Amino acid sequence: MRKVVLALVVVLGCRSQGAVDPQPATATPTPTPTPTPTPNGVAPLPGFFEALQVAGHPDAWMSLPTGATGKRPVVVVIHGAGDRPDWQCGGWRRATEGFPFIVCPRGKVAPGQGVTPDDIRYTHVGGPALLDYIDGALAALTARYPDYADTATPVLAGFSLGSYAILQLAVQDPARFPRIALVEGVTDGFDDARARKFLSGGGERVLFGCGQRGCKVAAAAAAQRLEARDHLEARVVFAAVNHTFDPPLEDAVRAEMPWLVGGDPRWSLAPVGTDGG
């Protein structure tokens, strides 16, 4: 019996870009009991992960701020090519210690990307179609959890190909997306013109996350340029996890979350803190 339990723990503890998750990204959430309201009239929010129906788009995956009794901010995460939204949601739940809502839109099915026939992977179409999906997901979140979700100025994060997509959206509307995280993706593509447009429109901070040393070198050069030439605050975190968003890199991102969200009062009760670094 002990061997069976140990084997189960090992299997559940392994999650990476290449792992096979038998649960579909559109799994129906398990009903949860109605909690008892607190003195302020808002009951602690139950649950951990669930699917979010978005009109005109595939279901998004979502991490809930379990136990929240009031408004919480939102992180929107765009996965990479041949990736899965549930993986990225799980990684960002760890990186934020489960404090915000984390909304992870799902891309189109990418045939042949999985390890097995049952391992379904997805790739996003960027640009206006992705922005429409994000708008729809945030509207659906507000409708579903009106007493809990504050969808204004969400943190926008992207992994690999997703980082290119979110950079484009942030540069187009930096007042709405002033804080972004680019993980294992775009570095030199964030040139002076984009940086200055982002900053002048209300953009505030950029976090680069890297799991490969080549990414680390390129991101460090980009961050130095953004700060020195463009006067845009930027930082880099690194953990040797290759091209994944696995726990060591998630933890490195978590260490910089106080800086990334510093000054935003909605994060004031977050376990990661808001010292502004």
**Domains in the chain: boundaries:** 41-267
Average pLDDT in the 113-124 region? 90
Q: What secondary structure does DSSP assign to 161-223, as a single string?
A: HHHHHHHHHHHH-TTT--EEEEESS-STTS-HHHHHHHHHTT--EEEEEESSHHHHHHHHHHH
**15 compared with 58, residue with greater pLDDT:** 58
Separation between Cα atoms, residue 105 and residue 44, nearest integer Å: 25
**Arch. (CATH architecture) of 41-267:** 3-Layer(aba) Sandwich (3.40)
The pTM for the full model equals: 0.85
Choose the weakest-confidence range: 32-36, 225-229, 267-271: 32-36
Nearest CA-CA partner of 59 in 89, 21, 27, 81: 27
Which tens digit of pLDDT belongs to each residue from 69-96?
999 999 999 999 999 999 999 999 999 9
Reply yes or no on whether the pLDDT at 31 is more than 60: no
Sheet holding 49-52, edge to edge: 49-52, 60-63, 101-104, 74-78, 155-159, 179-183, 205-210, 233-238
The tokens for 100 are 């915000």
The SS3 call for residue 155 is strand
State the pLDDT at residue 39. Answer: 56
State the pLDDT at residue 94. Answer: 98
For residue 8, what is the enclosing H or E element?
helix 2-13
What value does the mean pLDDT of the chain take? 88
